[in-house]
Amino acid sequence: MLKKFLVILLIAGLFLQTGVLACTDFVIAAKDKTIVNARSMEFPIDLESEICVVPRGTQYGSWQTKYAFLGVNAYHLPTAFVEGLNEKGLAFSGLMFGEVKYQSPVPGKTLPFDLLAIWALGNFASVDEVKQALSGIVVTDTSIKKLKGMGMHIAIHDSAGKNLVIEFVNGQMMVYDNPVGVMTNRPNFPWQMDNLRNYINLDAHDKKPKMLNNAKIEPTGVGSGLLGLPGDWTPPSRFVRMAIATDAALKPDNTAGLINLAEHLLNIVDIPKGVVKESPAPFVKLYGYAQWVLIKDMTNRVMYYKTYDNTNWKSVSLMNFDLNPGSPVKKILIADGQTQIPDVSAMLK
C-alpha cells in the first residue's frame, strides 16, 4: 500500500510540474434567469473524489462555516475541495495552472490554499463579497504534504451572473472580473482574453457564396462561419472554443433546457482516454481523460455529475439535507453515487 502511494505521489509530482492538465469551466443562463456553472475534471490519476455535504457551523481549525455547501474533494481529503456550490448559489472551481507561486505568510491573515474553497463557500453569498474579503487574506501553499506545490487558479461565480478569476503569480494575488464566464488552464487569464482577439472574425452564421474573378465559390457546407475555430485540447483552444460556443448557443427557456445545453457544451471539450498522451518522464505514461464532469445549478442548488466510466447523470440537491449546525458531514463517492455518513470529526481537527 505504501509503495503504491509513493508511486502515485511520484507520478503526480512529475505530472503537476508539466502543468498540462485540461480542465474547462463555464457559466450559462436561461431565459428564466436560471444560471448553471459546469466544469470538466481531466486528470490521469484516479482522484477518488467525493461530494461532501458540509452543514452550517462545521468547524475548520479556529473558525466555523456560515453557509452550508457541497464540496468535491480529492483523495478523500476533508479540506482539499477543488469544486463547490453553497446554499446561496456561490460556485467555486479550482483548475490546474502549472507553476504557481503563492503569497508569503502574514500573521493574522494567512490562509493555506487547501482552505480557500472552504473559506469562500462557507462565508460568502456573492462574487462582490468574495472580492471585498480577499484583501483581508494572503493565500499560501497548501499545508497538506501530499498536495504541496500543486498550482491552481480559481473561478468563482454567483447566482446573479457575476464571475471572478483568482490567480497567484510571482507571490502576488491577481483578481480579475471575467466577462465571458469561461476559464481553462494556463496561460494566465489576461493572456486568454487577449488571445480571443485572434478569432473575432468567426461567426456562427454560415458564409455566403463569393465571386472570385468569374468563379462563384460556394462554402463547403454548414459551419463555414466558424472555419478556423481551434479543435485541439490545449487550454487556449478550449478557452476560445467554449467562449464562442457559450455565446452562440441558443438560450434555453428554463432549467431543464439549460442543463441539457450544459451537457452538450461539456461534450465539445471531452477527452477520451488515449487521445492525449503525456510523458512527464521517460518511464511514465499518462493518459489524461475526462475523469468526471459537473453541472452546478446555482439557482436551485443542485449538483449534477457523471464519470468517465458511467455516463448516466446523477444529481444531489443541497437543500434535501439537514444543513443545521451539528449535522454530520455526509459523503457521496462520485464514482458510485452512494451516500455515506462516516465519523469525520477526527479528520477535521
Query: Is residue 178, in this structure, part of any structural domain at all?
Result: yes
pLDDT of residue 146: 61
Q: What is the pLDDT of residues 162-189, one digit of tens each?
A: 999 999 999 999 999 999 999 999 999 9
Q: Identify whether the C-beta of residue 83 lies closer than 8 Å to the C-beta of residue 61.
A: no
Helix (H) or strand (E) holding 39: strand 35-42
Give me the helix-helix angle, 127-134 and 116-123, nearest 10°. Answer: 130
Q: Residue 12: is its pLDDT beyond 80? A: no
Query: Is residue 203, in this structure, part of any structural domain at all?
Result: no
Query: Is residue 226, in this structure, part of any structural domain at all?
Result: no
Query: Is residue 227, in this structure, part of any structural domain at all?
Result: no
Domain that holds residue 59: 2-187+253-340
When mean pLDDT is compared over 34-38, 61-65, 112-116, the highest value belongs to 34-38
Percent of the chain with pLDDT over 70: 87
Q: Identify whether the C-beta of residue 71 lies closer than 8 Å to the C-beta of residue 79.
A: no
Into how many domains does the chain fold? 1
Query: Is residue 218, in this structure, part of any structural domain at all?
Result: no
Query: Is residue 224, in this structure, part of any structural domain at all?
Result: no
Query: Is residue 161, in this structure, part of any structural domain at all?
Result: yes
Radius of gyration of the chain (CA): 21
Q: What is the pLDDT of residues 51-94, one digit of tens each?
A: 999 999 999 877 899 999 999 998 888 888 999 999 999 999 99
Say which amino acid occupies 68.
A
The CATH number for 49's domain is: 3.60.60.10
Concatenated DSSP letters for 212-256?
ETTEEEPPSSTTGGGTT---S-SHHHHHHHHHHHHHHSPPPSSHH
Query: Is residue 193, in this structure, part of any structural domain at all?
Result: no
